[in-house]
């Protein structure tokens, strides 16, 4: 074990750190884009769009009738087969009043 010098140990440590940084990069990226937005005076929630897409209708303003959560696997299958109209009716989204979006709470707060 005498042939392992202090600098080699340090190099190994740096290598491990670099590896960790590479793995964590997407998370760091997400963190930075969020803090970047706020440092630019942009809204963290909407990025100054002043609106947020409705989570229920996914911004379309209408949901499929009958689905408990608005979406389910069977509906998606029907969609991909292209016979959605005959099977699933689209109704106006109650959550967003068929607008498909909300005004951003962060922006309208000011």
Which stretches of the chain bind Zn ion, using CB under 5 A? 43, 45-46, 54, 56-57, 93, 95-96, 104, 106-107
Q: Which is nearer to Zn ion, 24 or 99 (CB)?
A: 99
Q: Which is nearer to Zn ion, 16 or 89 (CB)?
A: 89
Q: Which residues contact 74 (CB under 8 A, 6 or more apart)?
A: none
> How is residue 100 written in tokens?
């498909």
For the CB of residue 80, give the shortest distance to Zn ion in the complex, in Å: 22
For the CB of residue 86, give the shortest distance to Zn ion in the complex, in Å: 23
Q: Which is nearer to Zn ion, 16 or 108 (CB)?
A: 108
For the CB of residue 99, give the shortest distance to Zn ion in the complex, in Å: 7
């Amino acid at each position: 074990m005498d042939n392992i010098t202090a600098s080699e140990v340090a190099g190994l440590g740096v290598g491990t750190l670099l590896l960790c940084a590479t793995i964590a990069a997407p998370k760091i990226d997400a963190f930075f884009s969020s803090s970047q937005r706020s440092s630019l005076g942009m809204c963290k929630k909407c990025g100054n769009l002043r609106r947020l897409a409705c989570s229920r209708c996914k911004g379309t303003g209408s949901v499929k009738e009958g689905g408990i959560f608005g979406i389910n696997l069977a509906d998606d299958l029907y969609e991909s087969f292209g016979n959605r109209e005959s099977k699933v009716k689209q109704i106006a989204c109650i959550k967003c009043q068929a607008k498909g979006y909300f005004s951003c709470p962060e922006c309208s707060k000011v």
